[in-house]
Amino acid sequence: MFWLGVTYAFFWLGGLSEAGKTTKDCQWNGTVSALDTNCTNINAPSGLILNGTDDIKVLYKQFAHVTTVTGCIQISGTTYARFDFFARLRTINCSNSSFTVDFMASNNSMLERLGMPMVQISRLGLTFNPKLCITQSEAVRFTNVQRGQSDNITICQGVSGNLKECSSTINSANAGLEDNCEIITENLYVDGVNNANISQKLQYIKEVNGRIYVRATTLTNLTIPMLQKVYGAESSYNTVNDATIYVVGNSNFTTLDVPKVDFMAQNDYSFLTADASYKMDQSLCNRLSPFGSVQSNGTVCVSTGSKIGTTASMALGLLACYFLYH
Ligand SMILES: *[C@@H]1O[C@H](CO)[C@@H](O)[C@H](O)[C@H]1NC(C)=O
Ligand SMILES: *[C@@H]1O[C@H](CO)[C@@H](O)[C@H](O)[C@H]1NC(C)=O
Ligand SMILES: *[C@@H]1O[C@H](CO)[C@@H](O)[C@H](O)[C@H]1NC(C)=O
Ligand SMILES: *[C@@H]1O[C@H](CO)[C@@H](O)[C@H](O)[C@H]1NC(C)=O
Ligand SMILES: *[C@@H]1O[C@H](CO)[C@@H](O)[C@H](O)[C@H]1NC(C)=O
Ligand SMILES: *[C@@H]1O[C@H](CO)[C@@H](O)[C@H](O)[C@H]1NC(C)=O
Ligand SMILES: *[C@@H]1O[C@H](CO)[C@@H](O)[C@H](O)[C@H]1NC(C)=O
Ligand SMILES: *[C@@H]1O[C@H](CO)[C@@H](O)[C@H](O)[C@H]1NC(C)=O
Ligand SMILES: *[C@@H]1O[C@H](CO)[C@@H](O)[C@H](O)[C@H]1NC(C)=O
Ligand SMILES: *[C@@H]1O[C@H](CO)[C@@H](O)[C@H](O)[C@H]1NC(C)=O
Ligand SMILES: *[C@@H]1O[C@H](CO)[C@@H](O)[C@H](O)[C@H]1NC(C)=O
C-alpha cells in the first residue's frame, strides 16, 4: 500500500509550458539589464557574454525562468561562486562558428561549482577557474570538456570521498535515500508514514536540484541542517509549477527548519502549505521570502528586516488530491 500525491495548479494564464510558466522568447542585445522579464527562451546569435560587471542579484532575477539559450555562452573574469542564475537552464544551442565551445567559463577566480544542475553541454570550455570542482554527474552530463593544460578539474569531495549524489523516490521509506547523501539529483520526496530514520538520511544534504515535498507524513517537525541550495529545476518538460517547498496532507506537522538555505531559484511560492497543524515561524519566513512568497493557511507571511516585494495573492489555486493504492 502506498500514497501517490498528485497536484494540480490552475492559472488564469493560457499557454503554459515550462513549470507552469508561459513560454516567452526574448532577444539578448548584449546587456542583462535590457532583457525583458520572465523570459524562458533567450535568442543570442552573437553569444550571451557575461564579464562579471552584472550584480548577481540581477542575473538571478532576469534568468530565473530561462530554460533555453539559442546562442553560445561565455562567462569570463567574474567573482561568482556559482552560476546559480542558470538554475533552470537545460538547453544551449550554439551554432555560431566564431565560438569554439558551447559554454566557456574562464578566469573566474571564485568559481567553486558550476551550479547549473540540469543543463546538457556538449562542448564545455574550462580554463583558469582555480577553485572549481565538478560532481560525478556533471562529469557525465558535460561531454567534450576542453581545458587548459594547467587546469586540473577535480571531482568535488564530500563527507566521505566524492560528494555523494542520490535520487529520492516518491512514497518510499525515508525518502528512498541511502546514507550520506549530499546532493539530491531531482526532487526530494518526504512522503508517507515510514520516516523513522529521516533525520539521519537528511543530515548531510546540501543541495536539492529539484523541489522539496513533505506529504502525508506523521512527522511533527523536519530539519535539513546543511541544506543551502534548492534549484527548483527539472530535467524535462513539466507544466506544474509547484512551490519550491510544498508541504501538504500531513496530520501533525508543525515546523520546518532549514537554517542554512542561501539560494533558491526564484518561484511564485518558495514555501506553501495548507496543513492546519503547521505554524509559520518568522525565521523561516525571513529566510525563504527572498526566493518567492511564503504562504501558510492562505496567508503570505511578511518578512521582517528585509524589504518584501509585492506578494499580493497571485491568480493561483491549488488542489491536492491523494489517491490510495494497493
Ligand atoms: C563588460 O560587459 C559590458 C557589457 O555587458 C561592457 O559594457 C563592459 O565594458 C565590459 N567590461 C569589461 C571589463 O570588459
Ligand atoms: C539594448 O536594449 C536596450 C533597451 O531596449 C537599449 O536601451 C540598449 O541601447 C540596447 N543596447 C544595444 C547594444 O543595442
Ligand atoms: C512576471 O511574472 C510574475 C509572476 O510570476 C508577474 O507578477 C509579473 O507581472 C510578470 N512580469 C511581466 C512583465 O509579465
Ligand atoms: C556570431 O557571433 C559574432 C560575435 O561573436 C557576431 O558578430 C556574428 O554576427 C554572429 N553570427 C551570426 C550568424 O549570428
Ligand atoms: C539551433 O538554432 C538554429 C538557429 O541559430 C536553428 O536553426 C536550429 O534549428 C536550432 N536547433 C535546435 C536543436 O533547436
Ligand atoms: C584570462 O586572463 C588572462 C590573464 O589575465 C588573459 O590573458 C586572458 O585573455 C583571459 N581570458 C579570457 C577568456 O578572458
Ligand atoms: C594534474 O593532474 C595530474 C594527474 O592527475 C598530475 O600529474 C599533474 O601534476 C596535475 N597538474 C597540476 C597543475 O596540478
Ligand atoms: C531505521 O534504522 C534502523 C536501524 O538502522 C532499522 O532497523 C529500521 O528498519 C529503520 N527504519 C526505517 C523505517 O527505515
Ligand atoms: C497527532 O498528534 C496527536 C496529539 O499529539 C496524536 O494523538 C496523534 O496520534 C498524532 N497523529 C499521528 C498520525 O501521528
Ligand atoms: C524534531 O525535533 C527534535 C528536537 O527539536 C529533533 O531531535 C528531531 O530530530 C526532529 N525531527 C526531525 C525529523 O527532524
Ligand atoms: C487558518 O485560517 C483560518 C481562516 O483565516 C483561521 O480561522 C484558522 O484559525 C487558521 N488556522 C491556523 C492553524 O492558523
Q: Mind spelling out the 3-state secondary structure of 257-287? A: ECCCCCEECCCCEEEEECCCCCCCCHHHHHH
* Contact (Cβ atoms closer than 8 angstroms) between residue 88 and residue 19: yes
| Distance in Å, CA 154 to ligand 6 centroid | 21
Q: What is the pLDDT of residue 149?
A: 77
Q: Indicate the top mutation candidate among 11, 21, 22, 38 to test ligand 3's pocket, ranked by most ligand atoms within 8 A of CB.
A: 38
Q: What is the pLDDT of residue 239?
A: 82
Taking the CA of residue 174 as reference, the ligand 8 atom at the shortest distance is 14
Name the grid cell of 84.
Answer: 546559480
Q: Which residues of the chain have pLDDT under 50?
A: 1-14, 307-326
Q: What is the pLDDT of residue 35?
A: 96
What gap in Å lies between CA 86 and CA 71, rounded to an integer? Answer: 14
Domain with CATH 3.80.20.20 in the chain: 25-155, 160-301
Q: What is the pLDDT of residue 14?
A: 43
The CA angle 267-271-283, to the nearest 5 degrees, is 120
Distances in whole angstroms, Cα of residue 148 to Cα of each of 131, 132, 135, 164? 14, 13, 19, 27
**46 in contact with ligand 1, CB cutoff 6 A:** no
Q: What is the pLDDT of residue 16?
A: 62
Q: Report, at the CATH architecture level, how domain 25-155 is classified.
A: Alpha-Beta Horseshoe (3.80)
Nearest bound ligand to the CA of residue 296: 11
- Three-class secondary structure of residue 86 per DSSP: helix
**For 165-219, what is each residue's pLDDT tens digit?**
999 999 999 999 999 999 999 999 999 999 999 999 999 999 999 999 999 999 9
Q: What is the pLDDT of residue 21?
A: 85
CATH superfamily, domain at 160-301: Receptor L-domain (3.80.20.20)
Q: What is the pLDDT of residue 17?
A: 67
Give the largest CA-CA distance in the chain: 59
Cβ-proximal residues to 288 (8 Å cutoff; 6+ apart), any chain: 244, 245, 258, 261, 264, 270, 271, 294
Question: Which residues lie across from 264 on neighbouring strands?
Answer: 230
| Number of residues that this document lists for the chain | 326
Write the DSSP symbol of residue 321: E
Write the DSSP symbol of residue 216: S
Q: What is the pLDDT of residue 148?
A: 81
| Distance in Å, CA 103 to ligand 3 centroid | 29
Q: What is the pLDDT of residue 306?
A: 53
Q: What is the pLDDT of residue 269?
A: 97
**30 in contact with ligand 2, CB cutoff 6 A:** yes
Q: What is the pLDDT of residue 15?
A: 56
